């Protein structure tokens, strides 16, 4: 009897230990964020409570990071949603050709984002990059892609779209194909116009999938690091200083543990709120698809 009670705890104990292993550094980071703590100046380490957070609020660099991160997340996720939905609609029918296309589109998603950045870096090289050459053919000369402040955001957003649009596509396509066929047949028999079917039947029925996929991507995109770090390390200037990129540089370049930790706790708070909404939505969808199968 005792063994039977203890069994689930015994089975999940190792996973619990890993959880604790993650929670310890998490609380350490929160603790660091309340201190003025620079590795280069151990003597001046002191506890300042929420002083660092107040400093952040009056620091223009912090607001640059907020603006750049928001721009990045909203642009990438918005464009990926539109493109992903469009492609999913094109591939809706289950034909052999469509299946091959949808599998081929998975390849960018399976490429490591940091490596994807390298690939685009080679293609946008000013001396021999095929994309630089191509846009020169259509009359745009001296477009400097990621190395000019004006076009750096455009370039990394392009790489993000290349990597993650397939994610939206796959999820929405699975959603589309799981919709019950009856409403669509009824609409066809009644001769309802296609755009009407799309806005009044497809879109509302697909909404839970759209919301889940968008929140999922938003959570990842606001924390983007790999693509931007591999492309420009946050430069030129601070045009691509996303949250995690700035925290990384604060920590390793300026050895400023305190500020870096405070910045990460702020990002964590944002993602925590978002993930709270997300997990609710995700559980509802999970319940539904598992109930059906």
- Which part of the chain contacts other proteins (CB under 8 A), choosing from 47-55, 69-77, 170-178, 199-207? 170-178
Check: CB of residue 84 under 8 Å from CB of residue 167.
yes
CA angle 54, 59, 63 (to 5 degrees): 105
Query: Does 49 participate in binding other proteins (rule CB under 8 A)?
Result: no
Question: Is there binding between residue 126 and other proteins (CB under 8 A)?
Answer: no
Instruction: Give the Cα separation of 211 and 195 in Å (integer).
Output: 21
Binding positions for other proteins, 207-236, rule CB under 8 A: 209, 212-213, 216, 219, 223, 225-226, 229-230
- H-assigned helices in the chain: 2-32, 51-57, 60-90, 96-104, 106-110, 113-123, 130-137, 149-178, 182-189, 194-197, 203-221, 226-232, 243-252, 257-292
Among 65, 228, 248, 259, binds other proteins (CB under 8 A): 248
Pairing state of beta strands 35-36 and 46-47?
antiparallel
Q: Residue 258 interacts with other proteins (CB under 8 A)? A: no
1 binds other proteins (CB under 8 A): no
Q: According to the binding rule CB under 8 A, does residue 11 interact with other proteins? A: yes
| Residue number with CB closer to other proteins (76 or 165) | 165
The residues in 18-37 that bind other proteins, with binding defined as CB under 8 A, are 18-19, 21-26, 28-29, 32
Binding residue (CB under 8 A) for other proteins from 94, 96, 195, 290? 290
CA-based nearest residue to 208, from 219, 198, 216: 216
For other proteins, the closer CB: 120 or 145: 120
**Do residues 169 and 130 lie in contact, with contact meaning Cβ atoms separated by under 8 Å?**
no
Task: Write out the binding residues for other proteins, residues 76-115 only, by CB under 8 A.
Answer: 86-87, 90-91, 101, 103-115
């Amino acid at each position: 009897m005792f063994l039977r009670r203890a069994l689930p705890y015994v089975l999940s104990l190792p996973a619990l230990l890993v959880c604790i292993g993650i929670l310890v550094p998490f609380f350490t980071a929160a603790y660091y964020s309340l201190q003025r703590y620079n590795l280069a100046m151990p003597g001046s380490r002191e506890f300042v409570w929420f002083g660092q957070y107040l400093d952040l609020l009056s620091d223009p660099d912090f607001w640059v990071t907020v603006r750049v991160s928001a721009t990045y997340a909203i642009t990438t996720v918005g464009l990926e949603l539109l493109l992903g939905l469009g492609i999913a609609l094109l591939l809706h029918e289950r034909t052999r050709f469509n299946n091959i296309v949808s599998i081929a589109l998975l390849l960018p998603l399976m490429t490591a984002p940091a490596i994807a950045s390298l690939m685009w870096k080679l293609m946008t090289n000013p001396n021999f990059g095929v994309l630089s050459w191509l846009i020169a053919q259509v009359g745009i000369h001296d477009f400097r892609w990621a190395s000019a402040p004006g076009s750096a955001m455009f370039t990394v957003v392009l790489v993000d779209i290349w990597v993650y649009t397939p994610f939206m596509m796959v999820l929405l396509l699975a959603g589309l194909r799981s919709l019950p066929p009856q409403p669509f047949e009824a609409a066809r028999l009644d001769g309802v116009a296609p755009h009407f079917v799309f806005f009044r039947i497809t879109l509302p029925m697909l909404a839970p999938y759209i919301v889940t996929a968008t929140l999922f991507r938003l959570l990842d995109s606001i924390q983007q690091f790999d693509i931007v770090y591999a492309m420009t390390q946050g430069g030129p200037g601070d045009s691509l200083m996303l949250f995690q990129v700035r925290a990384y540089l604060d920590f390793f370049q300026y050895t400023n543990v305190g500020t870096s930790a405070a910045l990460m706790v702020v990002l964590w708070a944002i993602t925590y709120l978002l993930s709270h909404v997300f997990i609710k939505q995700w559980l509802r969808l999970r319940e539904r698809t598992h109930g059906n199968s």
